[in-house]
């Protein structure tokens, strides 16, 4: 069978995407396997998942290009200690990793501060937008962005926006090239970075 160059390009592009997804899955498992010993616990409800935006109506939602994993300090008590399915901790800080493939592949490492007094459960997969938009430096209608050393800090422009984003106080984050993350350095680049934030 003869494949023209356009068909070959499409086949190659999907092959790269599939390989990238497999490699991300391995990295997600590795992160969860070592999170507790590094002082953090995965707080997404099913403990295996990640937050993502997916839409059948929007072609940009057909291919997932932002995978967000959430952690809190493992030494902090749960909000509902007896819960078997809810890992949210009684602490304002939630640490996030956005594996972002929208342009060049980057890792956004972030620390969010929320007023969680009224929270009754952990974030679920459809809460992707709560953690995604505060890290988009072109989202100037909802957030103010300032540089603080090696981090960027985003703050909601007003109380209405803060409330919309689950009572967000601020998010602090930095970008790292995903290409530079390896099995030898991911703990240092992610969990050690969380600790220094």
Q: Go through the chain and tell me how many residues it has.
A: 197
**Nearest CA-CA partner of 68 in 16, 107, 41:** 107
Assess contact for 122 and 44: CB atoms under 8 A. yes
Q: What is the spatial distance between Cα 142 and Cα 69, in angstroms, rounded to a whole number?
A: 23
> In this structure, how many other beta carbons lie within 10 angstroms of the beta carbon of residue 89?
21
Could you report the per-residue pLDDT of 20-76, keeping only the tens digit for each? 889 888 989 999 999 999 999 999 866 668 999 888 888 777 889 999 999 999 998
Judging by beta carbons within 10 Å of its beta carbon (0-12, 13-18, 19+), is residue 95 exposed, middle or buried?
Answer: buried
pLDDT digit string, tens, across residues 136-166:
999 999 999 999 999 999 999 999 999 999 9
The per-residue pLDDT for 3 is 66
pTM reported for the whole predicted model: 0.91
Task: Collapse the DSSP code of 70 into the 3-class scheme (helix H, G, I; strand E, B; otherwise coil) and give the result.
Answer: strand
Residue 189 near residue 107, CB atoms below 8 Å: yes
DSSP 190: I
């Amino acid at each position: 069978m003869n494949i023209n160059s356009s068909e070959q390009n499409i086949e190659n592009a999907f092959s790269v995407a599939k390989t990238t997804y497999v490699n991300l899955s391995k990295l997600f498992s590795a992160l969860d396997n070592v999170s507790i010993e590094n002082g953090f616990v995965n707080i997404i409800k099913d403990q295996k998942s990640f937050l993502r935006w997916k839409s059948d109506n929007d072609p940009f939602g057909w291919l997932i290009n932002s995978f967000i994993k959430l952690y809190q300090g493992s030494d902090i008590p749960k909000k509902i200690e007896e819960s078997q399915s809810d890992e949210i901790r009684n602490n304002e800080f939630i640490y996030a990793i956005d594996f972002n493939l929208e342009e060049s592949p980057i890792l956004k490492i972030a620390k969010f501060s929320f007023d969680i007094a009224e929270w009754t459960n952990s974030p679920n997969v459809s809460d992707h937008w709560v953690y995604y938009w505060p890290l988009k430096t072109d989202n100037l209608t909802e957030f103010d962005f300032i540089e603080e050393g090696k981090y960027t800090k985003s703050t909601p422009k007003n109380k209405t926006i803060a409330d919309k984003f689950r009572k967000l106080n601020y998010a602090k984050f930095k970008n790292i090239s995903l290409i530079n993350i390896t099995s030898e350095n991911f703990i240092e680049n992610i969990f050690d970075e969380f600790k220094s934030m």
